[in-house]
Structure 1
């Protein structure tokens, strides 16, 4: 199959903007809890639709009092917090545009985005962010306001807007049309300078409304159990932004969690108890790895591994039944599955709060076996695919027929085409209007209504998309063999001891890899092996550890031909981090930066 189109499930309104939903919900269901805020004791306090409307209105009046006008751009540098969502909708209420930036952005990255977008005001979370902006403010002549969230900026704005008439806000809000720009999101930039993706109100409506309508059983959960989700993805990333807007428009109670690390996130999931989550594969990998380590520490690794096998076979049987190629789980498998329900599967679900039955995953690929395990454990993870230019998801697995290991079919209202060279093209209402101030770059990716994604993939006979790599990341060995590194890297990363893997081999005689280690997993492995703690330089030379990583490499090599396989590898003592410029804020590898930083190690793979 070369092309597939899925009809729309929702229609984009002809008038209005994203903020209208806040006011409509308050009028229709004023007492409905639409958000939840953390309390000082670590609990949660519901925020009703009427309360949120009043907060948005008061802040919008403050923005008008500060001189913010229709079409102005306002930057936000902050972690994922309630105040970001409040500020976003206040900005949209007055017809302004938000420019989200990662809180880890460097001074030069901040300067470039604020200059390129001609930002007139900036909201930062704390003093460190304020100092970052302050260090480049002399080169930002259009920046008129710098507000600091933790210094009471929102309260000050609300106080300043107390005398502004509600009618002034309504006039701005009602003047909005769906084709107006809602936000300019800068690409994380694995190569080159980040470009500002212009996302309209209509783009976000098309994306979010179609997902909420098509995945109603996910967003609505069980009868009598109000839907709720915890947002922990960065709001500077298009995926996090989509979750925020979809929750508000879909009347799903939304909570916020600023820290993405497993240690900080898991306790909050247990206290908030979401009914579904939207996450990146990293979260599901961490949940699984933590459960496996806990079982091993309790001397129950054997039963846990058996439970994993049963869950995978159970989910495979369900998958086969959904596609008409099998009868579903047999009696013996159902008995085994039920036996492990309380022993293992229920405990895994408790890790995510106990109520989660559905999840959506994007941002990078998830290993098929991991998806099958979670489905067998009672949490179906719908893997999807998209990019900033498509306002997040372009494809996702449908609830009734999930094909694990693929990124699903086009979401409602979307077409996907595979070009002659294998590139994925996407068309739909969520496709962005172009790069800010860069018509040449826009013309390079928008072709007769189609978005050329730069990713490579294939459609199977049922219209399910599989990602095989990126055009710019394809390696060509000196022998002329073309290799897509993604399949190999994801398979190596499936080993619990591996944190990251980068495959190299461009203009080299064969393919090789650099591997980093997961510190928590290594600590546990040393304990279970009865080994003393080692310095990192000693650890990477440990023969038992090397044997473990070699097993991961051998497993990865089974996915490709001999000519494409990893011939040798090196274990690194340090992590690839965003702070060192080796990962993007969305945790993607900066390949050129890594190969430059580890040029000696890469060279040693071929001459060592």
Structure 2
């Protein structure tokens, strides 16, 4: 792949057929299941896709139809996506944590004709809403058979559909190639759903062309990935654009080898695979760093002293790198010894010792977390991407061990450009930009203007050209796990209660969401404890209809009303979220307990005893 002049020539199913012809017996992907690794060749991959695609056609799925997939990270998600693409259809990723109400909203908005669910849990959810989604005609169960469904919806198992498709393949051996040849690079390929400005879902539409340009930028993170094998563990939800890009689409254009596994066993799989490529939200780096720091504190005295000495050397090296100074020869020798004797063995305990360069995106990375990994010798870099950009138009592509706090520079292709609007908003023009919000031209026109995408993020440039994000225009929350959440619909639901006058959801750069509540004057309770129980019941009522990542884990009652004079409200009464968070920081911190970021920051700063 020419990183600066790349131009797509084939749809994703076309790329699959090419790989299956060129290297049929080479391993295309791996699946970790119950401690056993199953290897899947390119020939087997293409055969799965062929059978599924022809089965879908037999059940009336055609060009332009939308098919929803609700499944964990496993090969079947990939097979389903490529099968849908083969018939010219559009894949919709559904998070396994989505609530019944959210599934209904998504299926209705997209007018999905088919739904593929992994287990009885997902299938039961869609069965509950099938009667209210008039376009739905087919429900497939991967591990379990679908429950009873209303007419005219057909339910069947994954294997039954494959068997039906295989029969059609025997009758017409070239049928898959004919279907794939009818597809276009500019066909819609995937709808990635995000929260809209009013809480209604927005289907961010990416074509085969825009997603391949997104893969182009991912390849820029590892420039030799088209000629050298890289290993990655796929466990994050594929309904999110970044995991889908990396573990579904990038392997078709590169030598990336994915080992799929369930979320609950990813740590075991990391230790086994020892990946060489990683793109995670900050929370995973923070979690693993916290575990490693805790482990060092239990080491014997001598080993602990060696670690303290290595940290002293690592801090000095990191400070030199961030200041663009070359460490002295003595410091370089000491650091090489620290890496070999302390840091790499420590990283090996979590399977991260083979990795040289890693990336993070989707949410703000605490500077201390990035710093600790760099001290430990992992070249961890931030990059920037949104669902609408697909890939990473901005990253530290050729800047090793960058200073924390910057997201890098534009991808080195003249078609990728970044500029600052008069109000400080970052605008991006690039061939990876989404084609629009599904069925929502008004929202599309609001953010796509003359080829420039309005990101909603505020930026500034450093003298060397590096970009720093300094805030957001939009009133959204991005959790530490990288989930973008519009708090207003949640707050509105809470304020439907007669007990609640005001609700302020918080959780930006935190592990989960919480809420500050201002009780109404009519919230008459005999005691503070009784009021708290009544409010807890109201929070539980709202949580029942929310996806897990949107649920409120705790609440606190505001000790006073919000005031204009303190900057917490505008003159016309609107809440200023940033000011509220600042005013009640201690109250908010109390809902999160021990802060991993603070502990890691203290560890980065601390000196040996």
Q: What TM-score do the two structures reach when normalised by structure 2?
A: 0.74
Q: Which runs of 5+ in 2 are unaligned?
A: 146-156, 482-486, 488-503, 513-535, 563-579, 588-609
1:182, CA displacement in angstroms? 0.2
- CA spacing shift, 1:400–1:466, aligned 2, 3 Å: closer
Q: Which runs of 5+ in 1 are unaligned?
A: 1-6, 475-484, 494-501, 503-510, 520-572
Task: Give the equivalent residue in structure 2 for 1:344.
Answer: 343
Q: How far apart in 2 are the matches of 1:297 and 1:442? A: 54
Checking the alignment, whether the CA contact within 8 Å between 1:10 and 1:213 is kept in structure 2 is no
Q: How far apart in 2 are the matches of 1:310 and 1:219? A: 36
Task: Give the equivalent residue in structure 1 for 2:606.
Answer: none
1:242, CA displacement in angstroms? 0.9
Deviations 1:236-272 (A, max 9, x none): 101111112112321311111231x6xx321111122
- CA spacing shift, 1:90–1:329, aligned 2, 3 Å: farther
Task: Give the equivalent residue in structure 2 for 1:411.
Answer: 411
Task: Give the equivalent residue in structure 1 for 2:236.
Answer: 233
Task: Give the equivalent residue in structure 2 for 1:125.
Answer: 118
Checking the alignment, whether the CA contact within 8 Å between 1:311 and 1:372 is kept in structure 2 is no
Task: Give the equivalent residue in structure 1 for 2:109.
Answer: 116
Q: How far apart in 2 are the matches of 1:318 and 1:207? A: 29
Q: In the alignment, does 2:200 pair up with 1:242?
A: no
Q: In the alignment, does 2:33 pair up with 1:33?
A: no
Task: Give the equivalent residue in structure 2 for 1:392.
Answer: 391
1:466, CA displacement in angstroms? 1.2
- CA spacing shift, 1:176–1:16, aligned 2, 3 Å: farther
Task: Give the equivalent residue in structure 1 for 2:288.
Answer: 287
Task: Give the equivalent residue in structure 2 for 1:553.
Answer: none
Checking the alignment, whether the CA contact within 8 Å between 1:184 and 1:199 is kept in structure 2 is yes
Checking the alignment, whether the CA contact within 8 Å between 1:397 and 1:407 is kept in structure 2 is yes
Equivalent pairs, count: 501
- 1:518-597 matches, within 5 Å, as 580=543
Q: How far apart in 1 are the matches of 2:194 and 2:11? A: 24
Tell me whether 347-356 or 15-24 shows the greater mean CA deviation: 347-356
Q: In the alignment, does 2:6 pair up with 1:11?
A: yes
Q: How far apart in 1 are the matches of 2:262 and 2:209? A: 28
Deviations 1:331-385 (A, max 9, x none): 1353155135322333214413532222121111223343233234232123111
Checking the alignment, whether the CA contact within 8 Å between 1:88 and 1:98 is kept in structure 2 is yes
Deviations 1:268-292 (A, max 9, x none): 1112222222211111111111011
Q: In the alignment, does 2:215 pair up with 1:184?
A: no
1:309, CA displacement in angstroms? 4.1
Q: How far apart in 1 are the matches of 2:507 and 2:194? A: 26
> Which of 430, 434, 439 pairs up with 1:437?
439
1:139, CA displacement in angstroms? 0.9
1:302, CA displacement in angstroms? 5.8
Checking the alignment, whether the CA contact within 8 Å between 1:77 and 1:101 is kept in structure 2 is yes
Task: Give the equivalent residue in structure 1 for 2:213.
Answer: 206
Q: How far apart in 2 are the matches of 1:202 and 1:516? A: 32
Task: Give the equivalent residue in structure 2 for 1:461.
Answer: 463
Task: Give the equivalent residue in structure 1 for 2:473.
Answer: 471
* SS in structure 2 at match of 1:195: strand
Task: Give the equivalent residue in structure 2 for 1:447.
Answer: 449
* SS in structure 2 at match of 1:146: strand
Q: How far apart in 2 are the matches of 1:389 and 1:48? A: 32
Checking the alignment, whether the CA contact within 8 Å between 2:29 and 2:259 is kept in structure 1 is yes
Q: How far apart in 1 are the matches of 2:379 and 2:225? A: 10
Q: How far apart in 1 are the matches of 2:455 and 2:511? A: 31
- CA spacing shift, 1:429–1:340, aligned 2, 3 Å: closer
- CA spacing shift, 1:37–1:175, aligned 2, 3 Å: same
- 1:216-231 matches, within 5 Å, as 216-217=223-224, 226-231=229-234
